[in-house]
Amino acid sequence: MNIKSLLDLPCGDFNWLKNLYLPELFYTGGDIVQELIVKNNKQYGGAKRKFLSIDLISGRLPDADLLLCRDCLVHFSYNDIQKTIRNIKKNKIKYLLTTTFTDCSINEDIITGDWRPVNLSLSPFNFPEPLELINEKCTEGDGIFSDKSLGLWLVKDLPDF
């Protein structure tokens, strides 16, 4: 897919991604927690890796071939998910790789900050069929979330909200 730049939102503490060896990839990690950004830049920043304070819902997003948005939208209300997709679409991002629960049959709205599984293919989101689906083989909750996956979509194909 010719991915040369990765935007990781939220990047958190960069704990699991730090172990990937991707020397040709330009990586930008973003988060709203400023202390994480400072710490990550000190520990992991470099010529091809930087960390920025970024608000995914309404902030300016750096250009990227791929936006990795793992375990984030599950914490957003319907309204904030739709705002996030609008924001992603108005920036120069080609692909979105994000968490979706494929066996979830009904989406429930929440207050942003809570958590629930969300199936982005269902109403009110109605994403098209993903280009790729990577099952995470989640074992949490005694396997109740074994359908937890990362779905890959072309940003231009996502619904307009």
pLDDT (0 to 100) of residue 63? 97
Grouping H, G, I as helix, E, B as strand and the rest as coil, residue 148 is strand
Spatial distance between the Cα atoms of 99 and 118, rounded to a whole number of angstroms: 8
In the chain, domain spans: 5-157
Mean pLDDT, residues 68-97: 98
Q: Name the residue with higher pLDDT: 18 or 50.
A: 50
Is the alpha carbon torsion for 103, 110, 12, 89 positive or negative? positive
Spatial distance between the Cα atoms of 22 and 2, rounded to a whole number of angstroms: 13
Instruction: Please check the confidence at residue 57 and state whether its pLDDT lies above 90.
Output: yes
Q: Which of 7-21, 37-51, 71-85, 94-108 has the lowest mean pLDDT?
A: 7-21
Copy the structure tokens of residue 24. Answer: 């040709």
pLDDT (0 to 100) of residue 16? 83
pLDDT (0 to 100) of residue 19? 87
Cβ–Cβ < 8 Å for 76, 84: yes
pLDDT (0 to 100) of residue 23? 84
Mean pLDDT, residues 9-31: 92
Computed over every residue of the chain, the mean pLDDT equals: 96
CATH class of 5-157: alpha beta
Spatial distance between the Cα atoms of 53 and 23, rounded to a whole number of angstroms: 23
Confidence band of 83 (pLDDT split at 50, 70, 90): very high
Grouping H, G, I as helix, E, B as strand and the rest as coil, residue 35 is helix
Instruction: List strands edge to edge, sheet with 5-8.
Output: 49-53, 26-31, 5-8, 64-69, 93-101, 148-154, 132-135
* Pick from 56, 58, 66: nearest CA to 30: 56
Instruction: Please check the confidence at residue 144 and state whether its pLDDT lies above 90.
Output: yes
